[in-house]
């Protein structure tokens, strides 16, 4: 019997976009928003691992032109480096204050956890990865993690918690976990100006630059 000692563990990264974004902001790492996700994952891998793909799960923001513009720039930047974008959606609704009765409009992100769960299970079934690296702290993802481990004994899900997003429930369900530190984020930034797939220049939003 021949053994392939050169074979590396195949890794696909699944990035919960808003979970990562707000974790960085809450930790005071807002200057790391212009994040090169492929480089970040590469910086988190071990020498015996090979990155196959990075999937970024997000929803288009609404009702704020400035935020929409910044998000569009970032998504274009991610596409230019080969990151796959999977969209959920924002669902408009109303929030009522129980104390004063005031009503205001609100929007909630929908479908991200379902999209991540579906992708992780389908990719396992198709034997696309050996290890799934999940960048999220969302406990709604515990059931699909458990199913992957139950149905595919040769595969594992590792959690890379965004800053301020660690939780024990998710860590217990995974086969290994760690928190992404500030240095990994600062060492994994896109260039301030990059070229899009169609050739035009994409420049980091001014408010995202390191002070």
Instruction: Kindly give the confidence (pLDDT) of every residue in the chain, 211 residues in length, as a single tens digit, with 9 standing for 90 and above.
Output: 455 546 899 999 999 999 999 999 999 999 999 999 999 999 999 999 999 999 999 998 887 899 999 999 999 999 999 999 999 876 555 545 566 665 544 446 668 999 999 999 999 999 999 999 999 999 999 999 999 999 999 999 999 999 999 999 999 999 999 999 999 999 999 999 999 888 899 999 999 987 6
Is 32 among the domain residues? yes
d(CA 92, CA 87): 16
Look at the chain and report how many structural domains it folds into.
Answer: 1
Is 187 among the domain residues? yes
pTM check: above 0.85: yes
Is 3 among the domain residues? no
Is 2 among the domain residues? no
With a CB cutoff of 8 Å and minimum separation 6, the contacts of 61 are 67, 68, 71, 90, 107
Is 4 among the domain residues? no
Q: Residue 110's domain is classified under what CATH number? A: 3.40.50.1010
Q: Which range marks the domain in which residue 93 is found?
A: 9-208
């Amino acid at each position: 019997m021949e053994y392939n000692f050169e074979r590396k563990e195949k890794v696909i990264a699944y990035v919960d976009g808003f979970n990562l974004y707000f974790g960085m902001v809450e930790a005071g790492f807002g200057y790391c928003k212009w994040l090169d996700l492929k480089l970040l994952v590469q910086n988190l891998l071990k020498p015996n691992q090979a990155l196959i793909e990075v999937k970024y799960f997000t929803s288009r923001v609404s009702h704020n032109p400035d935020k929409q513009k910044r998000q569009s720039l970032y998504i274009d930047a991610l596409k230019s480096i080969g990151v796959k974008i999977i969209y959920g959606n924002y669902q408009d609704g109303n929030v009522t204050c129980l104390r004063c009765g005031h009503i205001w409009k609100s929007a909630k992100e929908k479908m991200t956890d379902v999209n991540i769960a579906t992708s992780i299970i389908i990719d396992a079934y198709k034997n696309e990865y050996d290890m799934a690296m999940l960048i999220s702290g969302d406990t709604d993802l515990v059931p699909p993690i458990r199913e992957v481990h139950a149905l595919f004994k040769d595969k594992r899900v590792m959690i890379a918690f965004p800053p301020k997003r660690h939780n024990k429930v998710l860590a217990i369900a995974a086969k290994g976990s760690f928190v992404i530190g500030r240095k990994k984020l600062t060492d994994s930034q896109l260039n301030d100006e990059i070229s899009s797939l169609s050739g035009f220049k994409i420049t980091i939003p001014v408010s995202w630059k390191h002070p």
